[in-house]
Chain A
Amino acid sequence: MVTVIVDVEGAVRVLRDAKKLLILVGSRLDGDILSTVVKLAEGLGAKAGIAATGNTAAPLREMGIDAGKEWTAEVVSRMLHSEGDKPDLLVFVGFYSFVLSGVLSTLKHFASCKTLALERRRFENADFSLSEMSKEAWRDALMRIAEGVIR
């Protein structure tokens, strides 16, 4: 399976096509990008949930978002083992690359869901990934994706 490198429009299409998706918010996200991710989730409506990994549960709650605290490893484990209704797309944003590389490798090889990496660099083990870009370009891309899913 080859990773599909997506641009803003491509990412929007992937997000729109998903039936049920979970956005995993990684520990590296700071304030304004966190707001953008919240906006993205809101734009996707009821089909999207937010999983606050790392320490992001607290800032999200301060923003009025009641995102459940999640442990990334447990989310991965659920995708492998849970019998319940699982998301068909996991979206990752704000992760350390050495964390996300491992997570994506597990999901790619042993889980049935698709993955989308909305990070500043390309992730080979994701089904869909943004490509390398500067922090500013990334910030802008996320904003445009958040706006794109609403239109």
Chain B
Amino acid sequence: MTFLLPNSRNDLDTPVATVGKTSVRICDVVRDVRGIESIVKRAIEDPDFGWPERRLQQVECHLHIFPSAKELEDWDGFLLGRYPPVYSPKSSRCNDCMLGVCDLSRERGACGIDLKTKCARDSLLDACKGASQMISHARALLNEALKRFGRDKRISHGKNVRYPSINTMLFTGTPIYTLGDADDALRYAEEQLVELLAAASQESNVIDLESKAFHAGSMYLLAGEVAELVKEACFGLCSAADRELVELPNFPHFIERGIGALDLEKPVVLFVGNSFLVGIAAVDFVRASGLEDEVQICGVGQMGLDLGRYYEKTKNLGGALKVLRVLRAGIPDVIVVGEQCVPANILEEAKKTRTAVVAVSQNMSMGLKDRTDAALSEIANALISGEEAGVLILNPKKAAEVAVKVARELSRGRKKFELPGLEAAEKCDGCGACDDACPNDLEVSAAVLAAKEGRANELSEIYDDCLFCAKCESVCIARIPIVSLVLKAAVDKMRAERFKMRPGRGTPSHLEYRDVAYAFGFGTVSGMVAIIGCGAGNEQDVGYMVNELVDMNFLVLTAGCVAADIASFYNEVEKKHLYEAWAALLQIRGFLNCGSCSAFSHVARAFIKYNHLIARLPLLGNFEEHADYTLGKMPMGVIIWGPASPQLYAAAAGFARLGAPVVLGPHGWKFQRFLLGNVEDRSKWWAYDGFTGRKVEVDPAPPHLIIPVETKEEALTMITRLVFRVNDFRDGRMSKMDSYWSFYERFFNSIPEDFHLYVRADAELPWTRKHKMIRILGEKYGWDVDKRRGLIIRAKHRDGRLLTPEEYARDYGIRVGQYSTFLERLIIREAARRGELADADKKDEEW
């Protein structure tokens, strides 16, 4: 990078950005400056989000503004080199082109592709599918907002948000302050998506393909942020951004979750999929019409959360995945069906219980007639009479009014819970086809056979773990309505489901960050973990994990359908359900729900924000540096629980690229691509000493980037392992070691076999376990220790040398408090980047 005197005559015609007395030619800091000169200049000079002068002088400033995936290959290449993709191919056959079907198990296909490349292309496609769903969601909201308010409409981020639109800023170099800014940002994501899809059928290199899958993940988070901003700023979803700290522990309001919260004598309108605009319109209509005490507005999945943020009387009926549970029981009188997370047979299912369907998305129109232009009364009458089972209405206000009107009519005299008796099980011959079909490996046939003998308990137990996909029914030769039987057996359980939950509150506020920043930065908080996902088979699993992590002093966030599942977990110590047991704060002993799946972006911004707060990293167009810092320093991780959807695939890619490792629950094995480190290969575990440029062997932290596990106990233990960082402070390393060891010992009745790899000094060993650890280091791993005094005399390097603590600190890991990086250009001094200071002796002389 060239530093110029501010008034250098030779460069008067070259645009420069100036911070203090330091200037830099803007053409030197981006690959192609054409058309973005002012953005680049601002990205450097902005007093809040730009570059501190000292930082500008120290590292090689290189911004990525509106980057393609290829422009971020330095970072992606590093990640994928350290955590190479491991694939579980869906099939070894490729049928993607017109040359015919090729078996790639032994040889390349007709186009020259091999199996790994085919898997990588599938990976990119999956990530693109997920990204497209979020981009489409954001676009629908944004277009409506643009029509209503125009491009110049200011977006308020709230008085307690200092860093707006963080996910976006990292890629576009511009904060979102108006709807026009949001439109520009989303256009960028849309363009990238088109490019990525084009590459998915052409690109031939695995690493390039996975880099692009990462990019789709980043676009997913960016689009999620746009969607959230529009929902909050234009459509009134509650946000913590304007609240005072004293309000936050009880913010937002509680809503009720569960069928037990409903008055089944009153009309029920259920919102499914992304039917956000119609949902908001329905609430407005109900309020304006004075029907709040009569018409019950309910949502599953995203709508159960988003509507809850808008309307306190919203009833959340659980994750989107389990909508069939509600439908089969005949709970809703009308369902409003948007796009995403909707079963393809929802119309057929609705017909079974004479539930009227109002489709509101042209992406999920189900063959229904488009009645957008028909008169409201005409549409309503057709639905009420049963002349039409469903209609498509692409006008949110009209769709909302039709839904409410029809529900009021249909609910009269309509019976709920009309389910077949257990005698329907009599046809079961125990063939076991349902067992084989069950995606959750439940022992369905045994339960049905038990029902045949008059025992309903087994079916009732199935209810707790069932995904309600009805695959068992579709394969049953005897045509037994197994799902309905399960519901019948569990009617009492369903009726008893009534929990309080907080529906989501958007971003963590600046006040919370400031409050916990030092504890987080220096490690008295073990880490920050987000538990997200599409909802689990057993709802108790996610609640259990939240509870354990809060208990272990992690900062815990959630978003997505699992947020509703969490509500049902009962904390035996506090004698409360989880949302009532813990304060809604991003603090120790707190736990907060950000919102629906678009709120995954709030999780990402929570991660990034800490980097800026603690290290003052510039935000605009500076993704790589943030990801580098997160992976090297910040103890953040994500647990994804429940079935593997494209949206979660994209989200996982986005978080992983950001340097936040991801643990996938057992269903995550269906993701078919994992990013696993090889701890044994010492050549993979290095970092640059940020001052000298010396490449140092480091602890394998975090050991994996995306890893699937089998149980919730494994997930908890793995996440405590994945929050280790090479740049941990002493207290941080100590608390992480304690968490990791605690879970490991408790769940597996043994000690972590790899703990010695993370021991840098005896002062970092948890006090309560120190002597035991020292003894094991001596006896099992050959370290020279003083057991009595609990001291490490000589540590055993991975190459077999016994080293004094000083030698060990020099040759293994990053010295505590020392700046480190994985990217050469972020080494602090130019001489060091050239390798001139890399020699250890020179380093000691220098420092």
Contacts and interface: CB of A to CB of B under 8 A. Distances in A.
Interface in A27-55: 27-28, 52-55
A61 B749 CA distance: 7
Interface in A44-80: 52-55, 57-58, 61-62, 68-69, 71-74, 76-78, 80
A132 B436 CA distance: 9
Contacts of A105: 88-90, 672
B750 A69 contact: yes
Contacts of B718: 71
Interface in B724-756: 744, 747-750, 753
A80 B749 CA distance: 28
B678 A99 contact: no
A58 B748 contact: yes
A61 B674 contact: no
B711 A27 contact: yes
A68 to B, nearest CB: 6
Interface in B72-93: 84, 86-90, 92
Contact of A80 (B86, B432, B441, B679): B86
B710 A72 contact: yes
Nearest to B678: A81
A57 B436 CA distance: 28
A77 B86 contact: yes
A76 B84 CA distance: 13
A72 B664 CA distance: 13
Contact of A55 (B90, B704, B708, B748): B748
Contacts of B89: 105-106, 109
B504 interface: no
A58 B749 contact: yes
Contact of B711 (A54, A80, A84): A54
A57 to B, nearest CB: 4
Interface in A118-151: 121, 132, 134-135
Contact of A109 (B115, B666, B747): B115
Interface string B6-22: 00000000000000000
A62 B744 CA distance: 15
Contact of B670 (A74, A80, A102): A102
A109 B676 contact: no
B88 A102 contact: yes
Nearest to B439: A98
B389 interface: no
B88 A103 contact: yes
B235 interface: no
Contact of A27 (B92, B672, B710, B749): B710
Interface in B640-669: 666-667, 669
A21 to B, nearest CB: 20
Contact of B749 (A28, A62, A82, A97): A62
A105 B708 CA distance: 15
Contacts of A135: 443, 446
A106 B680 CA distance: 20
Contact of A69 (B87, B669, B744): B744
Interface string B686-715: 000000000000000000100111110110
Contacts of B841: none
B105 interface: yes
A68 B753 contact: yes
Given A76-B86, A105-B89, A132-B436, A53 B670 contact: no
A28 B750 CA distance: 19
Nearest to A80: B86
A71 B753 contact: no
Contacts of B708: 72-73, 99, 102
Given A77-B676, A121-B436, A110 B87 contact: yes
Interface string A76-105: 111011101000000000011111011101
B441 A97 contact: yes
Contact of A98 (B116, B432, B669, B748): B669
A57 B441 contact: no
A86 to B, nearest CB: 12
A55 B713 contact: yes
A103 B105 CA distance: 16
Contacts of B678: 77-78, 81-82
B143 to A, nearest CB: 38
A82 B682 CA distance: 12
B469 to A, nearest CB: 13
Contacts of A74: 676, 679, 707
B747 to A, nearest CB: 6
B666 A57 contact: no
Contacts, number: 111
A95 B709 CA distance: 12
A56 to B, nearest CB: 9
B574 interface: no
Given A53-B710, A55-B714, A109-B105, A98 B441 contact: yes
Nearest to A94: B710
A98 B670 contact: yes
Given A54-B711, A96-B710, A73 B676 contact: yes
A26 B432 contact: no
A105 to B, nearest CB: 4
Contacts of A57: 748-750
A99 B680 contact: no
A73 B749 contact: no
B722 to A, nearest CB: 12
B845 interface: no
Given A1-B105, A26-B710, A54-B710, A69 B86 contact: no
A134 B432 contact: yes
B681 interface: yes
A61 B750 contact: yes
Contacts of A96: 441, 666, 710
A95 B669 CA distance: 12
Interface string B603-622: 00000000000000000000
Contacts of A73: 86, 674, 676, 704, 707-709
A94 B89 CA distance: 22
Nearest to A69: B748
Contacts of B90: 105
A132 B435 CA distance: 11
A120 to B, nearest CB: 9
A76 B678 CA distance: 11
Contacts of A110: 86-87, 116
A98 B666 contact: yes
A68 B744 CA distance: 12
A29 to B, nearest CB: 11
Nearest to B751: A69
Contact of A71 (B87, B440, B709, B750): B709
Residue from the set B436, B439, B710 with the largest chain A CB neighbour count within 10 Å? B710
A73 B708 CA distance: 7
A99 B446 CA distance: 22
A68 B754 CA distance: 11
Given A58-B748, A69-B744, A134-B432, A81 B681 contact: yes
A97 to B, nearest CB: 5
A147 B238 CA distance: 65
B69 to A, nearest CB: 25
Residue from the set A68, A102, A134 with the largest chain B CB neighbour count within 10 Å? A102
The 8 closest A-B pairs by CB, nearest first: A58-B749, A102-B88, A57-B748, A102-B669, A105-B88, A54-B710, A77-B676, A27-B710
26 contacts: A54-B711, A55-B714, A55-B748, A58-B749, A58-B750, A61-B749, A62-B749, A68-B753, A69-B744, A69-B753, A71-B707, A72-B708, A72-B710, A77-B86, A81-B84, A81-B678, A82-B678, A82-B680, A98-B439, A98-B670, A99-B708, A101-B669, A102-B672, A106-B88, A110-B87, A110-B116
Given A52-B748, A105-B672, 4 more contacts: A74-B676, A81-B84, A81-B681, A102-B669
Interface of B: 84, 86-90, 92, 105, 115-116, 432, 436, 439-441, 443, 446, 666-667, 669-670, 672, 674, 676, 678-681, 704, 707-711, 713-714, 718, 744, 747-750, 753
